[in-house]
Structure 1
C-alpha cells in the first residue's frame, strides 16, 4: 500500500552520485525539494521542483523513445518470431518525437497539472521561442536516420534471431541491488542466457557516444547478476554495449578487483551524501542553503532547476 512519507527513502544510484558531483543544489532539488510535489496539497515550491524534475531535453527524450520501442520490438519478437521493418520503426520514433514537440508547445497547462504524463523539453521551456535549436534538430535527425537500422543489424539482435539456444530472462525493469543494508537501483536493458556457450549476456543500448562512465554502470549490472542468479564464474558473464549511433558493439569482461572498487565508490559516495542530512535515520536533508551551487554557471543553463536558483 502506498504511504505518503515526509522524506523520501534513501537509496543509491550512479545517476544520483553523478548529480551530487555536478552540483549539490541540483542534487537537493532532484531528490528532496521535489519530494511529494505530485500531491494536490503540496506547497507550491515542492510542486514546481517536481515539475522541473520532469523536464527532459531532446537527447534524453530521443533515447527514452528508442529504448521503449526496442523493448516492445523484442517482446513482440519473442512472442511472434517476426521482426518489423526499419522504416516502420523509424517512423514510430519520428511520430513520438513530434508528439513530444506538440506537448511542449501546445499543452503547457497539461504539463503544469500532470508533469509526469506530459512532455516538456528543456530547450523550449527555457527558450526564447517555440523553436528547437537548429543544431540539436540536425543531430537528432541524424540519430533518427541510423538508430533503428543499427538496432536491427546489431550483434544482439542477430543472436536473438539466429541462435536457437537463447533463454530470455529480463528487460527494462528497475532492479534493487543490496550492498549491505543499502538499496542500489539498477536498470538492465536486456538480459539473456546463451545456453550453447553457457554465457549470461547483459545488453545496454546506447543512443549517444561512448562514455568513460560506461564501465561503472556495467559493474553494477554484474553485481546485480551475481546477487540474483547462481553464477559460479565471472568469465561466464558477457557485458555488451550496443552503440546505435556508430552501429558497433563493445563487450567487456570485468574482474573481481573492478567490482570491489565500485563497491568502495558506493561506500564513499554514501558517506558524502549522508553529510547533507540533518537526520540520517529519516533521510531528512539540511536546509537548502547548505547545498552549494556549482561554480560553473555555464552549466546552470542546462539544469532543469535553473529558475529556482536564478529567478
Structure 2
C-alpha cells in the first residue's frame, strides 16, 4: 500500500505526550504538530527545522535508550557475550562513543538525514559535552552495568525458562476511542505468575509518576492481553539505586486510567481547531512556559527563543 501523506498527524495519547503538554504547550506543539511532514523533501523549511530538532537527544536520554537496547539484546537475541558486567559496560560505552563521534563530525549529514545519524543535543547547542557531564555518564554506565546483573527481573529473564510476552516494543491499542501508545520494558511469565517490569536508569526515585505508568501497563496486560490481575506482579527496578518495588493492582486502580484519558482528551482537544482531523490551533495559541528551567534543556529552544 502506498504511503499516504496527511496534512495533520494522527491524534493519539501517551503518558509522555501529556507530560509534555503540561510542561510547555509550545514544546508540545513543536513535538506533535510543527514537525509533521518535515522529513519530506518538499516540506517547508520551518517543518524541516523542527523535525531536525525533534531528533536531538540529550546524552542522559541517549544513555537510557542504549541501556535498554543492551538489555533487550541479551534477553531477546540471546547475546550471551554481554552476560558479564564488564562486557555489558564496554558495549554501552562503545555505542555512546559512536554517537558522540557522529555528533562531532557529521553535522551536515545529520541536517539532511536527521533520522540516520545521532546528534547529542549538548554537542549541537554547546559544541561539546562538559567534563562534569561526561564523568556523570561514565559513573552511570559503571553503576548500572553492575546493578542490572543484581536485578531480580533480569536474573529471571536470563537464568530461567520464561515465556516472553512483551519486550521493549512500541505498541498501540484503542482505549475510549483513542489510539494510545506504550512500550513495556519486559512482560513475561515465570511458572504461573506474570511479571511486568519497568527498569529505571535515573538516579532519582520518581515512584509516584512511575506507578501511574505501571498502572497503564497493567491495564494493557489485563484488557488487551487478557492477563488476570491476580496473576500479574508489576515491578519498578531502579538500576542506579539497586532497589526494586513490587505492586499488584486492582480493578479499582485500573479504572483510574479510563478517567484520566477522558480528562486528558478534553485538554488535548482544547488546543485543536478541528478534532476530526487533529488540526491544531495556530502555534501562537500554544503558549510558552517562559522562565521555566526546562527551557535551558529543551530541544526546540533554538527556534522557540528566536521567536
Q: TM-score, normalised by structure 1?
A: 0.93
Q: TM-score, normalised by structure 2?
A: 0.94
Equivalent position to 2:145, from 136, 148, 153: 148
Distance in 1, Cα, partners of 2:73 & 2:158: 15
Change in Cα spacing, 1:118 to 1:82, as seen in structure 2 (3 Å) is closer
Instruction: Kindly report the root-mean-square deviation, in angstroms, between the aligned alpha carbons of the 2 structures.
Output: 1.6
Q: Which runs of 5 or more residues in structure 2 are unaligned?
A: none
Distance in 2, Cα, partners of 1:172 & 1:142: 24
Distance in 2, Cα, partners of 1:113 & 1:83: 34
Aligned length: 303
Alignment check: 8 A CA contact 2:75 2:158 kept: no
Alignment check: 8 A CA contact 2:12 2:179 kept: yes
Distance in 2, Cα, partners of 1:131 & 1:28: 28
State the match for 1:163 in structure 2. Answer: 160
Matched, 1:244 2:243: no
By how many angstroms is 1:83 displaced?
6.0
Matched, 1:255 2:250: yes
Q: What is the correspondence of 1:83-94 to structure 2 with a 5 Å cutoff?
A: 84-94=83-93
Q: What is the correspondence of 1:196-275 to structure 2 with a 5 Å cutoff?
A: 198-208=192-202, 209-211=204-206, 212-232=208-228, 234-275=229-270
Distance in 1, Cα, partners of 2:290 & 2:164: 47
Alignment check: 8 A CA contact 2:58 2:122 kept: yes
By how many angstroms is 1:82 displaced?
7.2
Alignment check: 8 A CA contact 1:177 1:223 kept: no
Alignment check: 8 A CA contact 2:82 2:88 kept: no
Q: Which runs of 5 or more residues in structure 1 are unaligned?
A: none
Distance in 2, Cα, partners of 1:35 & 1:254: 37
- Residue deviations 1:131-189, cap 9 Å, x none? 3123221221111112122112210122234434x222221111123212111101011
Change in Cα spacing, 1:88 to 1:162, as seen in structure 2 (3 Å) is closer
